[in-house]
Amino acid sequence: MTTRSVPSTVDAHVRVSLNNTETAGQSWDDYRAALGPDAVGGAVLVGSPDAAETQALLEFATKTDEVVAAAVWEDVTAYDVGERLDSLMASPKFR
């Protein structure tokens, strides 16, 4: 069994904009700057029911060490839900 280190303080619900538009909310950089460098050891990104955002969040989470997980949405009534979930679960940060 593999043991994984979990930061001592995790922000469990972080909504950030990855597309840097003024109406989309705060960026990841703004979030980190507001907290300070040692405020939290990790964050869980929370997505919306948008397929493009789901993919973007998982890709961002995979390459960002401070993100410990991404809580994302998927349409469980879709005819290809199994394939969609398999694709999402391929990310090491999918939760």
Q: Residues near 8 by Cβ (< 8 Å), separated by ≥ 6?
A: 41
As a whole number, mean pLDDT of residues 23-48 equals 78
**Do 42 and 66 form a contact (C-beta atoms < 8 A)?**
yes
Q: Which pTM was predicted?
A: 0.74
pLDDT, residue 40, reads: 78
Task: Give the model confidence (pLDDT) of 44-64 as tens digits.
Answer: 888 888 888 888 888 889 988
The SS3 call for residue 35 is: helix
pLDDT, residue 3, reads: 53
